[in-house]
Amino acid sequence: MEKKLGKATRDAYGETLVEIGRMNPEVVVLDADLSKATKSVLFAEKFPERFFNVGIQEANLVGVAAGLASCGKIPFISSFASFLVSKGFDQFRMGVAFSELNVKVVGSHGGISVGEDGASQMAIEDVALMTSLPGFVVVVPSDEVSTRALVFETAKYPGPVYIRTGRPKAPIVHKVGTEFRIGKGVRLREGKDLTIIANGLEVFEALEAAERLAEDSISASVIDMHTVKPLDTDLILEEARRTGHVLVAEEHQIWGGLGSAIATFLAKKHPCKMGFVAIQDTFAESGRSDELLEKYGLTHPHIIKAAKKILGR
């Protein structure tokens, strides 16, 4: 399919945050000295009295956000996902999740597509950590269209939410006006032989793989499962019953991500043949985004290979 690059999901987040700020004066935004990169700087420029840079202290950032939420504010907090999730985890656990506070967490520069910044700034375990927290919603948008819609949904949702955004420009996969709801996946292509479930940058790769598979007379569904928690179990079950083969693709460590969540559900409800395209228990090196996605097995040729394997072709 044609690869039409849109904005990075981090850019879409920053722009949408400004719109939400205009609509709701209770929204406040905090960052850990990376607002130019996370794009929360756009909110800071429009609403400086509602923006707080706490400096390079992610754990304190979470604590301040919890305090603001307990006073009725709606805090959106941003930093690189690798720093925010890892360094703030204990505060997320006790200060936000246990307390059931309305804190919105946006981890930027998710996955290995960060590129040249290297392993220290690549979040490959953030989804696993945040889904483990009781009560947390976890969302991984695929493009600027889905990001805008899901940030709006997040602002309305009465509880803690984690959104992962990315550094590079993301291919457009959704039409403007597509409906997005937390916990409801979007079927982008319908097939009868195989279901490919993906999120983030992997959604475009899944669509590309489905087109190539069609040339080999393999009919594949493609689902954008933007919400990892709660899963759209109805859609997953429908697809598993219809095609009998489910392949999950994600820019995340194979342990504890979207694939693990779907496998756990299907093991209980409808066991079927499954495959997994993910980072295989390793850190990535520094390099260009496209080079890293290829080297670590996350591009459409790898999805095609995995699809044919579970189909026995």
Residue (of 289, 280, 282, 259) closest to 196 by Cα position: 259
In terms of DSSP bridges, do strands 227-229 and 186-189 run parallel, antiparallel, or are they unpaired?
A: unpaired
Which residue out of 19, 45, 58, 116 is catalytically annotated? Answer: 58
The tokens for 301 are 């040729």
Domains of the chain: 5-171 (3.40.50.970), 186-308 (3.40.50.920)
Please report the pLDDT score of residue 3 as a whole number: 85
Whether 206 and 40 have beta carbons less than 8 Å apart is answered as no
d(CA 18, CA 208): 33
- 211-219 contact pairs (CB < 8 A, 24+): 211/1, 212/300, 212/304, 213/304, 213/307, 213/308, 216/308, 216/313, 218/191, 218/193, 218/194, 218/307, 218/308, 218/311, 218/313, 219/191, 219/192, 219/193, 219/194
Q: What value, to the nearest 5°, has the Cα angle with vertex 68 and ends 18 and 111?
A: 60
Residue (of 294, 308, 299) closest to 220 by Cα position: 308
Q: Give the rounded distance of the alpha carbon of 27 from its chain centre.
A: 22
Residues of 42-58 as b/e, b for ≥16 C-beta within 10 angstroms?
bbbeebeebbbbbeeeb
Q: Give the rounded distance of the alpha carbon of 2 from its chain centre.
A: 23
Contacts of 219 (CB under 8 A, 6+ apart): 191, 192, 193, 194, 213
pLDDT in tens, the chain (313 residues): 778 989 999 999 999 999 999 999 999 999 999 999 999 999 999 999 999 999 999 999 999 999 999 999 999 999 999 999 999 999 999 999 999 999 999 999 999 999 998 999 999 999 999 999 999 999 999 999 999 999 999 999 999 999 999 999 999 999 999 999 999 999 999 999 999 999 999 999 999 999 999 999 999 999 999 999 999 999 999 999 999 999 999 999 999 999 999 999 999 999 999 999 999 999 999 999 999 999 999 999 999 999 999 999 7
CA torsion 282→286→290→293, rounded to 10°? Answer: 0
Please report the pLDDT score of residue 1 as a whole number: 72
Q: What are phi and psi of 175, to 5 degrees?
A: -80, 145
d(CA 10, CA 238): 32
pTM here is 0.96
Question: Residue 202: which H helix or E strand, with range?
Answer: helix 202-215
Q: Is 58 a catalytic residue?
A: yes
Whether 283 and 114 have beta carbons less than 8 Å apart is answered as no
